[in-house]
Amino acid sequence: MEWNHDVVYQSRRNNAYQTPLVILDTHGLVYPCTCTRKEIADSSITGIGGPVYSGTCRYNLPKGKQLGALRVRIDNRLVEFKDAYGA
């Protein structure tokens, strides 16, 4: 496979993510999470691709912890999207 576009670094695209993030937040579809990758890896839940987030922060942040990431709130429905570069 060959990529036929310029390389785009996620760390340089914060402005592009801001509007969709505000929309998700407005609809109550994101929540703050303080879990580290290690904490998630140490979870007893494993999926097809490896460790699965256990939902520790889904309803409340643990006391004394500060925001580390925003997670998308989903249920057990299938989540799909069309890639802008797709056919």
pLDDT tens column, 12-64? 988 888 998 999 999 989 998 888 888 888 877 787 888 888 888 888 877 77
Residue 2 lies in a domain: no
Residue 47 lies in a domain: yes
Q: What is the pLDDT of residue 86?
A: 54
Residue 54 lies in a domain: yes
Q: Which domain holds residue 33?
A: 29-74
For the chain, the domain total comes to: 1
Residue 84 lies in a domain: no
Residue 7 lies in a domain: no
DSSP H stretches of helix in 43-82:
none
Residue 1 lies in a domain: no
Residue 4 lies in a domain: no
Residue 59 lies in a domain: yes
Predicted TM-score (pTM) of the model is 0.64
Q: How far is CA 42 from CA 21, 26, 32, 52, 63, in A?
A: 28, 32, 20, 10, 20
